Amino acid sequence: MNGHPRLLEAALSLVAVIGGYFLLGYGLKFSLEQVTIGGYALSWSVWASLLLSIAVIAYTRFRGRPLSSLGVSRPRSVLKAIVTGVLGAVLIFAGVMLSISLLASAGLITPPDAEPVMLVEGPDLALSLTLSIAVMWINAAFGEELLFRGFLMNSLMRALGDTRLAGFVSAAGIALAFGAMHIPSQGLYGLAVTGVVGFLMGLLFLFGKRNLMPVVIAHGVINTTSMIMLATA
């Protein structure tokens, strides 16, 4: 397959994933009643991410590609991957905080009031937080990294020639798309913050030899820390 069909495939994949997020997320939210189990309700965004992840895995297998093409494989050193993920989380968190500070000081963004983010809502805050963190590791840490790094970034890199420059451009392009997804709900603040996070995650993905484990761990550590800080503030 030459470059043009691969570029078209990457573009269509990007449209499908982002469009799928909005169609599934908002469609499920406004067309169906929220499902509750024991008084606890699961956010529809979780269902959207789960369904898209399953679709991407099915599509990859249908095209005859191994799951390793998505970065789903055992790294050469699990310990190194874990350490890389944890250190990556620290650096990314610091980079995001610095970016927010600089952009806010320049008057380009206005940080919103901090509110707890719960993927599972229920009567008991502690249990809701615990369940939300557990779901987040599957939905956001693994699901989003599978979609945006494993699937979309890899697709764009292949289309651009699989070079170091292609990796950098792909990291920036997918990060911009990921940030743009948050404009409707968070405005320029959402674009800036999630865009920076996405770009740094992309660089970590490249540093980790395009294996998902480091970015999944980094994503999970960052979100876990943020969720606990917001819930206990």
Q: Other CB atoms closer than 10 Å to residue 69's CB: what's the count?
A: 17
* Residue 34 confidence (pLDDT): 62
Map residue 13 onto helix, strand or coil.
Answer: helix
User: Rounded to a whole number, what is the distance in angstroms from the first to the last CA of the chain?
Assistant: 53
Rounded to whole angstroms, how far apart are CA atoms 141 and 224?
A: 10
Q: What is the CA 116 to chain-centroid distance, rounded?
A: 18
Give me the amino acid identity at 169.
V
Rounded to whole angstroms, how far apart are CA atoms 207 and 149?
A: 12
Ordered alpha helix ranges (H), the chain: 3-31, 44-62, 78-105, 125-136, 145, 154-160, 164-180, 183-207, 212-232
DSSP symbols for 114-170: P----SEE-S-HHHHHHHHHHHHIIIIIIIIHIIIIIIIIHHHHHHHTSSHHHHHHH
Q: Is the pLDDT assigned to residue 209 strictly greater than 70? A: yes
Report residue 138's pLDDT band, with 50, 70 and 90 as the boundaries. Answer: very high
Question: Number of folded domains in the chain?
Answer: 1
Q: Which two structure tokens, joined as six digits, stand for 151?
A: 């699937």
Q: Is the pLDDT assigned to residue 151 strictly greater than 90? A: yes
pLDDT in tens, 188-198: 898 999 999 99
The mean pLDDT value for 28-41 works out to: 69
pLDDT in tens, 76-124: 999 999 999 999 999 999 999 999 999 999 988 888 877 777 888 888 8
Q: Other CB atoms closer than 10 Å to residue 204's CB: what's the count?
A: 24
Q: Is the pLDDT assigned to residue 1 strictly greater than 50? A: no
Cα diameter, the chain = 55
Rounded to the nearest integer, the mean pLDDT of the chain is 90
Rounded to whole angstroms, how far apart are CA atoms 98 and 179?
A: 17
The mean pLDDT value for 167-184 works out to: 92
Angle between helices 164-180 and 183-207 (to 10 degrees): 160
Q: Which domain holds residue 186?
A: 3-232
Rounded to whole angstroms, how far apart are CA atoms 229 and 111?
A: 16
Q: Is the pLDDT assigned to residue 75 strictly greater than 80? A: yes
